[in-house]
Amino acid sequence: MASIDLGLLRTFVAIYERRSLTLAAAVLNVTQPSVSYALGRLRGDLGDTLFVRSAQGMAPTARAEQLYPVARAAIDAIDDVVTGREFDPHTAHARFRVALTDMGEYAYLPALMERLSTDAPEVSLDVVPVDVDAVDRWIASGEIDAAISSAAPSGRTATVDLFDETYVCVAAWPDRLLGIAVGPAELATLRLAVIDTSSGHDRIGRALDDAGISPKAVLRAHHFSTLPETLVRSGGAAIVPRRIAGMFARRWPLRARPLDDLVEGFQVRLFANPTLHPTPARQWFLTVLEEAVRAFAAEVDAPGATQAETGGSEARAM
């Protein structure tokens, strides 16, 4: 390790985290041939191929898996010393990585980027899809700085509860139906658009199965952002988180009706280990990330915000 210069380590980390020579070159602001050359030097110095091409990109070898946490920690420590203990977001050129679900990209990312553009205009952000089975490993190794997810805590990564969320049924409902809960019988008749369970919203499918409901699932999509115009133009309905429905209602003629307790609510959490890689930069980012997500929830709930639904515990089931 003593004979490997810092530039080669940065190249290695960039390839490992992005699984792509092209993306690594972009984040390092160098050409792809330069990345290939650096990887060749690393392979020669370490006597290992380090990465092999696969359908998922540049897959790390066992040696690369061992090297990554050491290299990541070394780079963080050196950067911390070079930049000083005080992190100034207004002038910093740091880059952070956060894992978000589709809901997170649609709902939380705008608030986070607005905050970064104001407080840290030179800071960059990489967003990767949440993989529930990999989040603990990613955070432990430093591959990501944090994740926002509704997954249950594993106990291996520290979590912070950000806000509670519930599901509602959103569509272009007529006024006469607002405040009336959508019951099992009505759900079975709806042209329902659902978000695929791979996006982390498997609670909906489980709840419908448990209730013996077989809705007309005419659309199975992977992204919340595809739903509003689709629902308006097709006359369909969708079961979505309440605050997502509120965002829909701001821009589209869509409103929500309660489901009561038909689908279990969930807790949105921040997953991170602030003491594992405790650089001032990362600590600052975790604080900003938490504040931005909480601000999103508060903004949607604020008095005067467009209301997606009417009615509540007194709502009547159809």
Residue 49, in any domain of the structure: yes
Q: What is the mean pLDDT of residues 100-127?
A: 93
> pLDDT tens across 68-93, in order?
888 887 887 777 676 655 678 998 88
Question: Would the pLDDT of 39 be above 90?
Answer: yes
> pLDDT tens across 178-204, in order?
999 998 888 888 888 887 665 556 777
Residue 308, in any domain of the structure: no
Domain of residue 177, CATH code:
3.40.190.290
Residue 77, in any domain of the structure: yes
Output 207 or 289, whichever has higher pLDDT.
289
- Structural contact between residues 39 and 11, judged by C-beta atoms closer than 8 angstroms: yes
Note if the pTM is more than 0.85: no
- In the chain, which residue ranges form alpha helices assigned H by DSSP? 6-18, 21-28, 32-46, 62-83, 102-107, 109-119, 135-141, 184-187, 202-210, 227-234, 242-251, 280-301
Closest CA to 309 of 240, 266, 245: 245
Closest CA to 28 of 128, 126, 144: 126
Residue at which a domain ends, from 231, 249, 265? 265
Residue 114, in any domain of the structure: no
Domain that holds residue 198: 165-265
Phi-psi domain of 311 (left: phi exceeds 0; alpha: psi -120 through 50; beta: other): left
SS3 (DSSP) at 164: strand
Cα 249 to Cα 228, 245, 255: the distances in Å are 9, 6, 6
The structural domain count of the chain equals 2
**Which residues, 6+ apart, have CB-to-CB distance to 38 below 8 Å?**
7, 8, 11, 12
